Structures are given as C-alpha cells and as structure tokens.
Amino acid sequence: MSTSTPTLFPMFVKLGGRRCVVVGGGVVAESKIDGLLTSGGIVTVISPTLTSSLKRHEQQGSFIWIARRFESADLDGAFLVIAATSEDATNELVFREAERRGILCNAVDQPPRCHFYFPAVVRRGALQIAISTAGLSPSLAQRLRKQFEVEFAPEYSEWLLWLGVVRDALMQRGLDFGTRKRLLAYITRPESFERWRASKEHERVLEEVA
C-alpha cells in the first residue's frame, strides 16, 4: 500500500529567547502555550478572548496577549506560529502568511497546514521520548505515550542525573574510548536501573527510620 505521507525529520529545538506566536486563546491553545513556555519560548497570544486559565497566566506575565483578531504583521520576527482557532478561514490565513515569510507553522489538527507536528511526549526530567505518527493517528501516539509512561518510571529523571555524574567522572579518568564505552553501556542497562532504584529505596527507608 503506497502512501504520500512525507518522511519527517525528527529533532529537538531550543526555543529559549525565540518569539513564538499562538493565534487563538481557547482550550486547544492552552497545552500548546504551556509547552512553548516550558521550553523557554517568548510567547505572544493573538486572540479576542482567553480561557480563564490563560487569563491567570497572562496576568502573571507568562506571555504577551494581544486582544484582537490575527493580522499579518503579528508574525514580524516570529520563529514559529501555531494556529489554534476554531475558524478555518483564520487558520488558513495564518498558514499562508507563515508560508510567505518562511516561518514554521502548525495549524492544530489540520495536517495540510502544518510544517511540523506536536508529538506525544513522555518527560522524565532531561529524558524526553517524542512519538509521532505524522498526523495519521494521534490516538495511537497517545496510546504509545501511556505505554512508555509505565515503562519509564518517574525515577528515570533522577537516574539520568546520576548517569550524567558518572559519565563525567569516567571522562575525567582518561580511560580509553573502548573501555569507557563498555562501562557506560553497562550502567545504562535495565538491570543497572533496578539496582540503582533499589539502593535509593533503601536509603529512603533508612532516612525515615532515622
């Protein structure tokens, strides 16, 4: 069975200090705005109204709110834009303007109007597992996310920090590449994680007893 779905290039983007525009202030926009802010983006929201949750964030200074409908000039200096309105004509206008300017655009739930997709993400501190179906089945992506959330326990966040410390220590010891590679592979095995977690649980119990 042939398909015209393009092969996507997976990457993690540093948004720190970059201007990100979100057109729309409804429930659909909430999670997108939260993700952009978490990643350090400088967010501007274009919408006549905001949900109560977004209003609280705006009052706290989390993002800039321009309380009107979208205008082409709103994309001046933007790195990316998200069209998250319920109006097809507005989403089309945002996409076309982004295309004209060479700005990355995502129109929520409208694959033909997307230069990129938001993956389903499992976050465990510095560990991020992103899942994409190229817009073909968001439901499958969400099911896999839930599956991976069970497989990769919350402790992975702390374990990864520990792995970073161990890696730095091994790098400073001046070991040859082959030896260092074998040791690093050994400590990242599932069995190594279970031993680490057991030792942390033991430490926690001792602290409670003390």
For all residues of the chain together, what is the average pLDDT? Answer: 91
CATH label, 19-117, candidates 3.30.365.10, 3.30.450.20, 3.50.50.60, 3.40.50.720? 3.40.50.720
Residue 208 has pLDDT above 80, yes or no: no
* pLDDT, tens only, 134-150: 878 889 999 999 999 99
Reported as a pLDDT band with limits 50, 70 and 90, residue 207 is low
In DSSP terms, 21 is beta-bridged to 44, 81
pLDDT band at 111 (very low <50, low <70, confident <90, very high): confident
pLDDT above 70: residue 4: no
Binned at pLDDT 50, 70 and 90, residue 133 comes out as: confident
Is pLDDT larger for residue 161 or for residue 7?
161
Provide mean pLDDT across the span 102-107: 97
pLDDT-derived band at 2 (thresholds 50, 70, 90) equals very low
Cα–Cα–Cα angle for 128, 129, 132, nearest 5°? 135
Average of per-residue pLDDT across 95-113: 95
pLDDT at 210 over 70: no
Alpha-carbon separation of residue 117 from 7, 10, 39, 82 (angstroms): 12, 10, 16, 10
Is residue 1 pLDDT above 60, yes or no? no
**Average pLDDT of the segment spanning 171-189:** 91
pLDDT tens digits for range 53-88 = 999 999 999 999 999 999 999 999 999 999 999 999
Rounded to whole angstroms, the Cα distance separating 175 from 173 reads 6
Q: What percent of the chain has pLDDT over 70?
A: 94
Q: Which amino acid is at 54?
A: L
The domain made up of 119-152 has a fold known as Double Stranded RNA Binding Domain (3.30.160)
In which region does residue 77 sit, left (phi positive, over 0), alpha (psi from -120 to 50) or beta (all else)? Answer: left
**What type of residue sits at position 97?**
E
pLDDT at 94 over 90: yes
